Amino acid sequence: MAAIEPEPQSQRKWVPATVGICHWQTATDRFGPEAKAAIRDRERVALGLHPLGHDSPFLWAPEILDDENVVSYSIHKIVPAPQCYRNNLTALSQAYNLYFVAYQSQIFVYVPRSIARQRLPRHPDCRLRCEPSSVAPYIGGK
């Protein structure tokens, strides 16, 4: 019996990749030294405990951001609260160097700063307000 010769495989094109240092940005780096305490207070309230901070944490919702009853400066207005039953959706546009974050009924658009580390600014460069979906009332969405 003659052995069957395997078909020659086409050479895979080798594409070199440049791998650099990976950088990260903490909440303190982005929002300032009060961010860690604000996040801790939100976690305590979610667990049914009293907050340790001076101002009471509140959920970061669009209607609260524009409300005049909220303290004029509060770290809770800057640091977004995580959603309870779903993730905050994010996307990155490499072609235009934009970072998108979908949170409740808004899409926040950021232009990363500093070439090497790609740090995000504290406030978005653009905020797109969207209409809520038809299922939003059933899952607690806005």
pLDDT digits (tens, 9 = 90+) for 60-98: 554 544 555 555 677 877 887 766 656 667 888 878 889
- What pLDDT does residue 125 have? 92
- What pLDDT does residue 62 have? 44
Predicted TM-score (pTM) of the model is 0.53
Residue 50 confidence class, pLDDT cut points 50, 70, 90: confident
For residues 142 and 72, the model is more confident at 72
- What pLDDT does residue 109 have? 92
DSSP codes joined into one string, the chain? -PPPPPPPPPPPPP------------HHHHH-TTHHHHHHHHHHHHTTPPP-SSS------HHHHT-TTS-SS-HHHHSPPPPSSSPPEEEEETTTTEEEEEETTEEEEE--BSTTT-BPPSS-SEEEE-PPPTTHHHHT--
- What pLDDT does residue 123 have? 85
